[in-house]
Structure 1
Amino acid sequence: MLTFATAIFFLIITPGIGVLTTAGIGAGFGAAAGARFLVGLFIGTNAVAIFVISGIAAVVLANPVLGPILLYGSAAYLLYLAFRIGWAGSKIAFVERQSAPGALGGFGLQLINPKAYAVNTTLFSGFHFMPENLSMEIALKFLIINAIWIPVHLTWLWAGVSLKRLDLSDRTQSLINKGMALSMLIVVVLAAWPREGG
């Protein structure tokens, strides 16, 4: 069980779309907006885990029609989120600062987050510590995952909010937000690269 918890910590703490978006929304829009987004992200990550355990994710992603639709739809949504975060603190005239994506945005993000599926597949298909009682093992895994997931994501939100509270110049805030948006895009490309390569 300790090995499982260690694996969760390192899989979750590494920068992925979820934590980068959470930090970006915290930096661009503040703590309340970040917390709303985080609630949706939390519900979404547990939904993804259920999809993985039940086999629904494998069936849907293997479908020759639905698979590509979800792939391109997720790419478009991630680009949209990166754009919103990248320009959240800028004063560019043609980009109006709007409200951050809320709980529904967080939920939707996890449903299309490639890292969420990869992490949950790894955690639930491996690291068996109660093979004699699979149902109890799955329940304990949910408990352990969420016990680590919540503080890790709150820490990333705090980091983003801390940047906002520094009262940086508009230019500096804009550069930070654009850096976070660029980081999101890099993570998406890295997550998608192995799939395209084979």
Structure 2
Amino acid sequence: MITFAFAVLFLIITPGPGVLSTAGVGAGYGFRAGFRYLTGLFIGTNIVAFGVITGLAAVVLSVPVIRWVLMGASLLYLLYLAARIAFAGARVAFIAAGSAPGIGAGLLLQAINPKAYAVNTTLFAGFPYAPDNLLFETATKLLIANAIWIPIHLGWLWAGASLHRLNLSDRAQRRINYAMAASMLAVVILALIAGLRQ
């Protein structure tokens, strides 16, 4: 169980579309709006987890056309987000101002987020610790994963919202934008490499 908890921590804490966009919404719209978006991500990640646990995700993703459509939609969204970050100018605004993304946006991101499927598949198919009681193992894995997921994502939201309140120099703000865009591009490249290997 401890090995599983460490795996959850390291798989979730690494920057991916969920945590990067959470920081972005916090930076662009503040904590309250970011919390609504985070609620959608939370619901979405659990829907993905149930899809993986029940095998529905494997069945759906076994159809090459569907898998490539979802992968393409995800990659395009991530490229779009990286471009928005990179060209945000001198202000720290990972997602340009306008109407704040809400619960639906968080749900949608998780539905097309390749990291969500990869992480959940790794966690629920691997790290067995109660092979004689699959129900217990699955239930405790869900509890452990959510107990780690929530504070990590709240931390990223807080970090983004904190940036929103800072009065940084234009140069520092541009550097933050470029670093966040580069992180998103790295996620796109890794997802593309993983998709081409399948």
Q: Report the TM range for the smaller structure's normalisation.
A: 0.7 to 0.9
Which residue in 2 is equivalent to 1:151?
Answer: 151
Q: What are the residue-to-residue correspondences of 1:170-181 with 2, within 5 Å?
A: 172-181=172-181
Which residue in 2 is equivalent to 1:128?
Answer: 128
Tell me, yes or no, if structure 1 residue 101 matches structure 2 residue 101: yes
Tell me, yes or no, if structure 1 residue 51 matches structure 2 residue 51: yes
Q: Is the 8 A contact 1:114 1:192 kept in 2?
A: no
Tell me, yes or no, if structure 1 residue 38 matches structure 2 residue 38: yes
Give TM-score scaled by structure 1 length. 0.87
| Cα separation, 1, equivalents of 2:178 and 2:101 | 17
Shift of 1:176: 2.2
Which residue in 2 is equivalent to 1:19?
Answer: 19
Give TM-score scaled by structure 2 length. 0.87
Tell me, yes or no, if structure 1 residue 187 matches structure 2 residue 180: no
Tell me how many residue pairs correspond in the alignment.
195
TM-superposition CA deviations, 1:45-72 (whole Å, max 9, x none): 1011011111111111121322222221
| Cα separation, 2, equivalents of 1:100 and 1:186 | 25
CA RMSD between the two structures? 2.2
Q: What are the residue-to-residue correspondences of 1:58-137 with 2, within 5 Å?
A: 58-87=58-87, 97-137=97-137
| Cα separation, 1, equivalents of 2:134 and 2:175 | 48
> Larger deviation: 26-35 or 105-114?
26-35
Tell me, yes or no, if structure 1 residue 160 matches structure 2 residue 142: no
Extract unaligned runs of 5+ from structure 2: none
The share of aligned pairs that are identical, in percent, is 62
TM-superposition CA deviations, 1:149-195 (whole Å, max 9, x none): 00011111111111111122456435423431331121121122133
| Cα separation, 1, equivalents of 2:133 and 2:152 | 29
